[in-house]
């Protein structure tokens, strides 16, 4: 079995002293480029430093809004919702290119990166709600394709190894009106170009209920939140994954911060939101490298070499601060690396 690669979900708590609204305004106006660029680059470098094998650009903006705001702006489009490719830019990729350039100079290697974009289904739900306008759904898929194409054009000093479509609604949201063939068509449009470029395409699902539908598309990696919901493992059919050439990205560290803090409060009879020193127990007692390694071992016994990537369950945007978030990422890296070393027969 090949090594399991550590990727992350992208989002982080905002640095102290700024807000998500500030990031949104700064990214749209470009009036504070120096500060914006510095904060994004620092966080991206920290992701590399704590041991993420294929890091995602730091995401401080709302996942759907980051893309939908551009799509809904008529000046960016040929016609409503038909985005011009030149305007399909992910600013953060331009910012991290400088970090990737320095990485290449220092190591002689090209940094591999994960690019995360909103999926067409979640974009559609945000824009149109519980409706079924197939043409609009198709436009959303085409728009995501344009963001992906522009991302590859932007990648001058790094290599895009993974393109991730964020589609947590699939299998979870009963407001989706489209039939499975509609979903297959949209996901195919959104994922084909990246696959043609040799990248893996991951879909981030909260639940794997719809995974067999995804297997009918070019998407070849299915990401699920296994750490918080181990029973999700039972929904996968390993033979079906092998037959369709599909792999899995497993969440092996928990990110449901409210539940984690609730467990700390109950165990120690405290309010960790106020007595914040108790929050450290999340990464010193609960989500430790040993626990994370054990989760991966349990999953490997079921799915074997179908596990290609591992990560935290989801993004870390709602964690209390960056230090705690980066400690979880560091623990996740140590757990995955220990699993890989043992799998290779190393001590």
What pLDDT digit, counting tens, does each position of 273-329 carry?
999 899 999 999 999 999 999 999 999 999 999 999 999 999 999 999 999 999 999
User: The pTM is what?
Assistant: 0.94
For residue 92, give its domain range: 5-249
pLDDT value for 32: 72
Residue 295 lies in a domain: no
Q: Is residue 327 within 8 Å of residue 46, measured between CB atoms?
A: no
Residue 341 lies in a domain: no
Alpha carbon 303 to its chain centroid, in Å, reads: 21
Provide, rounded to the nearest whole percent, the portion of the chain with pLDDT above 90: 85
Cα torsion at 305, 307, 308, 311 (round to 10°)?
A: -150
Residue 335 pLDDT grade (very low, low, confident, very high; cuts 50, 70, 90): very high
What is the mean predicted confidence (pLDDT) over 110-129? 95
Determine the longest span between alpha carbons in the chain, in angstroms.
60
What's the mean pLDDT when you consider all of the chain?
A: 94
Residue 260 lies in a domain: no
Residue 299 lies in a domain: no
Residue 274 lies in a domain: no
pLDDT value for 1: 76
pLDDT tens-digit profile of 167-224? 998 877 778 888 999 999 999 999 999 999 999 999 999 888 889 999 999 999 999 9
Residue 347 pLDDT grade (very low, low, confident, very high; cuts 50, 70, 90): low
234: domain CATH number is 3.20.20.210
pLDDT surpasses 60 at 140: yes
Provide, rounded to the nearest whole percent, the portion of the chain with pLDDT above 70: 100
Q: Look up residue 340 and give its two tokens.
A: 């890989």
User: Residue 31's CB: how many other CB atoms inside 10 A?
Assistant: 9
What is the mean predicted confidence (pLDDT) over 262-281? 94
Q: In what order do the strands lie in the sheet with 221-224?
A: 5-6, 307-312, 247-253, 221-224, 200-204, 158-166, 111-118
Number of domains in the chain: 1
SS3 13: coil
Among 300, 330, 298, which Cα is nearest to 312's?
330
Residue matched to tokens 């995360």: 116
Residue 155 pLDDT grade (very low, low, confident, very high; cuts 50, 70, 90): very high
User: Rg (Cα) of the chain, in Å, rounded?
Assistant: 20
DSSP 8: -
Residue 316 lies in a domain: no
Residue 315 lies in a domain: no
Residue 312 lies in a domain: no
């Amino acid at each position: 079995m090949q090594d399991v690669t550590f990727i992350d979900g992208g989002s982080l708590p905002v640095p102290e002293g700024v807000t998500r609204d500030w990031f949104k305004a700064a990214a749209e106006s470009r009036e504070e480029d120096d500060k914006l660029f510095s904060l994004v680059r620092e966080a991206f470098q920290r992701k590399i430093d704590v041991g993420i094998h294929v890091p995602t650009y730091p995401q401080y903006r709302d996942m759907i809004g980051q893309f939908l705001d551009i799509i809904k702006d008529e000046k960016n489009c040929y016609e409503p919702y038909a985005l011009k490719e030149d305007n399909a830019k992910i600013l953060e990729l331009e910012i991290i290119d400088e970090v990737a350039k320095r990485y290449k100079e220092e190591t002689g290697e090209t940094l591999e990166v994960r690019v995360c974009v909103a999926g067409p289904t979640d974009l559609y739900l945000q824009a149109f709600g519980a409706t079924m306008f197939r043409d609009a759904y198709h436009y959303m898929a085409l728009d995501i394709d344009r963001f992906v194409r522009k991302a590859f054009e932007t990648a001058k000093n790094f290599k895009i190894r993974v393109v991730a479509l964020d589609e947590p609604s699939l299998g979870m949201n009963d407001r989706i009106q489209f039939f499975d063939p509609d979903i297959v068509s949209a996901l195919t449009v959104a994922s084909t170009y990246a696959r043609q470029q040799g990248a893996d395409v991951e879909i981030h699902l909260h639940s794997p209920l719809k995974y067999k539908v995804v297997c009918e598309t070019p998407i070849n990696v299915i990401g699920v939140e296994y750490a918080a919901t181990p029973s999700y493992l039972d929904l996968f059919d390993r033979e079906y994954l092998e037959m369709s050439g599909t792999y899995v990205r497993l969440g092996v560290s928990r990110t449901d911060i409210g539940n984690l803090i609730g467990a700390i409060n109950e165990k120690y009879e405290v309010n960790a939101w106020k007595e914040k020193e108790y929050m450290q127990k999340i990464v010193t007692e609960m989500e430790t490298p040993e626990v994370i390694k054990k989760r991966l071992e349990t999953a490997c016994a079921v799915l074997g070499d179908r596990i290609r990537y591992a990560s935290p369950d989801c993004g870390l945007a709602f964690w209390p601060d960056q230090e705690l978030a980066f400690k979880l990422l560091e623990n996740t890296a140590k757990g995955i690396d220990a699993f890989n070393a043992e799998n290779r027969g190393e001590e």
